[in-house]
Structure 1
Amino acid sequence: MKSLFFSVLFLCLSFVCTAQTQYEEISSIKLDETRQLKIQLPRNYESNVEKTYPVIVVLDGDYLFEPVAGNVDYYSYWEEMPEVIVVGINQVDTRDSDTYYDDVSYLPVDEGAAFFEFIGLELMPWLDEKYRTNQFRMVVGHDLTANFMNYYLMKSPALFQGYVSLSPDLAPEMETRLVARLGATEQKIFYYLATATEDIRVLRETIEPLNSQIKLVSNSNLKYYYDNFEGATHYSLVGRAIPKAIEEIFSIYRPISKKEYKEVLLKLDGSPYDYLIDKYTTVKQLFGLDDAMRVNDIIAVGKALEKKSNWEGMEQLGQLARKQYPDTMLGNYYLALSFEKSGEPKKAMRTYQNAYLLEEISFLTKDLMLDKADQIKADFGY
């Protein structure tokens, strides 16, 4: 198990070397000092000059940045999550003061209040001005910083939409405050919480009740995820939780899998076509991305429509595929199939024939299109 863990960690760290990682300094009036940052830009950041990117802020950047950045680069390379800008804040000498809160109100004061304002009023505007960012922002923290990031949820609207809380060292009253805010939020919030069976005992004693309370929250705007890693410690849970958090929070972005096809698309009460439209609309709204639909997603929906004999949806899919991939035969294929199954064989035959002039894509070939047209011609004597 250890060898597997270190192999995965090495792979993730090796991906950092191929992404664009740079070191910056930001002068802060709030902190009255200069802060060091680590910033990883997406691989194609320089060439995709029109594209904007979500931002992940990593607290405890002196040790959390590399595992987060490595996983982000790996998952985005395989299109399991969108490309994002990762920003690590170095807190090696300031961690205790950065996360300081009042003994009575249990809210940030003094250096803690200054650090809170530094991120919201200085760092995020600086990033927005210097880089091509969009509206989705996520934050990652571990024990003290995992508690601290919750304070951003206490403001409306919250600065971050995604929260990765790794074994938080919760302040008094944080459990009550956090549950109340998650229950009342009108923003879409993604909240991931992790502990482990070998985590620090006093932390587990507050994390487990917190999980029980959040699970009772009824709010359609909240997406909540929890893990309790068997055999992991306070430190090793980080390596297991980061990829799990990425998988959960960005699940809507991933290509349609075999499991999603069988358990969701084929069991829908509505149309798989509508599911596809909703999926990409949600991705655009959440992550500010307007990428072309994946060919494999269109094909998966096409198979589901065929299984359900939903020929109206198939025609809609064909029109959509024509817009998404106009130079290929993808759209013509689904249009022709819808015409064929809806009792319009002559129209289907001509659409298959016209596809011959377009580019092949995936399983669709010129021979297949001609065979389809010839079969209709033979069947109906055209």
Structure 2
Amino acid sequence: MKYYFLLFTLLFSFSAISQVKYETIYSEKLGEDREIKIQLPRNYESNSEKRYPIFIVLDGDYLFEPVAGNVDFYSYWEDMPEAIVVGINQLETRIDDGYFDDTNYFPSNSGANFFEFIGLELLPYLDTNYRTAKFVIAVGHDYTSNFINYYLFKDPALFQGYINLSPDFAPMMAERLTEKLSTIKQKTWFYMATGTDDIKSIREDVIYTDKQLSLVDNAAVNYYFDDFEGATHYSLVGRAIPKAIEDIFSIYRPISNKQYKEELLNIEGSLYSYLIEKYNVIEELFGLDNTIRINDFQAISAAIEKLEKWNDYEELGRLARKEHPDTMLGNYYLGRFYEETGEPKKAMRTYQSAFLLQEVGNLTKDLMLEKSDAIKADFGY
């Protein structure tokens, strides 16, 4: 219980620091004003060139805050990119917004209007007024969770990520999702969750849908499912949101100890190429051209030392000079390359040239002096 109280306190504190705006926009499709909540990343104003993924949160009157708090928390610790979170308040309109035809089970009447409001009005509004990236995730709970999946059937699909919290599926949705996710070509992240104490009819449909989706064999689709022990229809929301974020943004996170042991230390090819590929995927998927983290440089360096892949140090050193030019990271890596490939004089001079640069972790001026002096003693320079 203390853990959940602490987590709630942390998320509330993070959310309070972030910039939350309340806006009202007029919808021609709906013929009325709609209220939205927008949480901007902490450094939105200072990073004037940066663009951000978007979370579109239905049931924003109660679902916005837990999503916004988790997004701020995880992005603060660099476990996901900073993102813009947009909540659509539906307290008075929820049933009408999600309305679907009782013969073909697709949005119709007020539901069709709300469908077009999001795709043709809200997203263009956000693109015009905020610095948005192309990666958009939709979040819904029970009735609105069913609704977000209709956007999968557009060509191309409107969203790249779908977070389904105890979805109350329309008839035929399981079969339609299975067919669509089996054939879709664009990269898609699909998360679904229920709990052992969820509403019985919803839980049964979700379990059935999971069995169907588990059979989907499509490299473009990343499918995740959780069945939380002891979770009710409402309590599962607090457990599913952080889990969905962790799953969807797993490639974004810094290289972990597990990845180091299981992937880097068993790699057959270039460790440098592993690092480049990781950040190429981040840019391709999320539209983000991120500076490579020092943590990831250090993980690659540790693997180079362990596996004695000394040639990787040359390219890694040049890359570190480009990404972190004010630090001694690049000089140290190049010094190690020269030292291990038979060019001690170059190594000594490279270590010496690092004296005027910023220290990084255990890479200190004392270490550079120690490495330089050792080469002098060995070779009499």
- TM-score, normalised to structure 2, is 0.98
Is 1:100–1:112's contact at 8 Å kept on the other side of the alignment? yes
Displacement after TM superposition at 1:322 (Å):
0.8
Superposed, 1:189-200 pairs within 5 Å as: 189-200=188-199
Corresponding position of 2:21:
22
Aligned to 1:247: 246
Instruction: Give the corresponding residue for 1:304.
Output: 303
The answer on 1:83 being equivalent to 2:82 is yes
- How many Å apart are 1:87 and its aligned residue? 0.2
Structure 1 residue aligned with 2:43: 44
Cα deviation for residue 118 of structure 1 reads 0.4
* 2:274 aligned partner: 275
Give the Cα–Cα distance (whole angstroms) in 1 for the partners of residues 207 and 285 of structure 2: 29
Distance across 2 between alignment mates of 1:211 and 1:268: 33
Aligned to 1:186: 185
Query: Cα distance, 1:259 vs. partner?
Result: 1.7
SS of equivalent residue, structure 1 residue 311: coil
Q: Which residue of 1 aligns with 2:207?
A: 208
Deviations 1:19-58 (A, max 9, x none): 0001001100111111010110011111111111111000
How is 1:127-206 mapped onto 2 (pairs within 5 angstroms)? 127-206=126-205
Listed one character per residue, the Cα deviations across residues 93-126 of structure 1 (whole Å, up to 9, x for unaligned) are 1111111111110100000100000000000000
Count residues in correspondence: 381
In the alignment, the residues of structure 2 paired with residue 326 and residue 11 of structure 1 have an alpha-carbon distance, to the nearest angstrom, of: 35
Amino acid at match of 1:335: L
One-letter amino acid of the counterpart of residue 227, structure 2: N
Give 1:224 deviation, angstroms: 1.0
> Which position in structure 2 is the counterpart of 1:59?
58
1:168 corresponds to which letter in structure 2? Answer: P
Question: Which residue number in structure 1 is paired with residue 106 of structure 2?
Answer: 107
Q: Secondary structure at the match of 1:156?
A: coil
Deviation at 1:356, TM superposition (A): 1.9
Partner of 2:95: 96
How many Å separate the matches in 2 of 1:204 and 1:218? 24
Q: Give the C-alpha shift of residue 159 in structure 1.
A: 0.8
Question: SS in structure 2 opposite 1:371?
Answer: helix
Take 1:355 and 1:137, find their aligned partners in 2: how far apart are those partners?
42
Distance in 2 between residues matched to 1:262 and 1:165, nearest whole Å: 33
1:62-116 alpha-carbon deviations (Å, 9 max, x no partner): 0000000011111111111111000000011111111111111010000010000
Q: Is the partner of 1:252 in helix, strand or coil?
A: coil
Q: Unmatched 5+ residue regions in structure 1?
A: none
1:91 is paired with a residue whose SS is: coil
CA distance in 1, matches of 2:290, 2:106: 41
1:348 and 2:358 aligned: no
User: What letter matches 2:84 in structure 1?
Assistant: I
Q: Deviations over 1:292-317 (max 9, x none)?
A: 11111101111111211111111110
Moved more, 277-286 or 114-123: 277-286
Q: Distance in 1 between matches of 2:211 and 2:274?
A: 32
Q: Contact 1:271/1:305 (CA < 8 Å) preserved in 2? A: no
Cα pair 1:197 1:230 within 8 Å, conserved: yes
The residue type equivalent to 2:59 in the other structure is D
Provide the residue aligned with 2:116 in structure 1: 117
Aligned-partner SS, 2:254:
coil
Who is 1:219 aligned against?
218
Partner Cα separation in structure 1 for residue 344 and residue 215 of structure 2? 55
- Cα offsets for 1:143-170 (capped at 9, x unmatched): 0111111100001111110110001001
Does the aligned pair in 2 maintain the 1:52–1:133 contact within 8 Å? yes
**Structure 1 position 372 matched with structure 2 position 371:** yes
- Give yes or no for contact 1:273–1:305 (8 Å, CA) kept in 2: no
Q: C-alpha displacement at 1:270, in angstroms?
A: 2.1
**CA-CA distance at 1:280 after TM superposition:** 0.9
Partner AA of 1:337 in structure 2: R
Q: Tell me, which stretches of 5 or more residues in structure 2 are unaligned?
A: none
By how many angstroms is 1:347 displaced?
1.7
Determine the C-alpha separation between the residues in 2 that align with 1:76 and 1:280.
Answer: 17
Tell me how far 1:192 sits from its aligned partner: 0.7
CA distance in 2 between counterparts of 1:9 and 1:366 reads 43
* Cα distance in 1 for residues equivalent to 2:369 and 2:11: 46
Residue 230 of structure 1 aligns with which residue?
229
CA distance in 1, matches of 2:72, 2:326: 31
Structure 1 residue 34 and structure 2 residue 11: aligned? no
Structure 2: distance between partners of 1:258 and 1:150? 35
Taking the aligned partners of 1:11 and 1:352, their CA distance within structure 2 comes to: 43
Cα displacement (A) at 1:251: 1.3
Distance 1:269 1:220 in 2: 23
Letter in 2 for 1:252: I
Structure 2: how far apart are the matches of 1:193 and 1:88? Answer: 19
Query: In the aligned structure 2, how far is the partner of 1:80 from the partner of 1:265?
Result: 19
C-alpha separation between the residues in 2 aligned to 1:188 and 1:63? 29
Of 249-258 and 29-38, deviating more is 249-258
> 1:126 & 1:315 partners in 2: Cα distance?
47
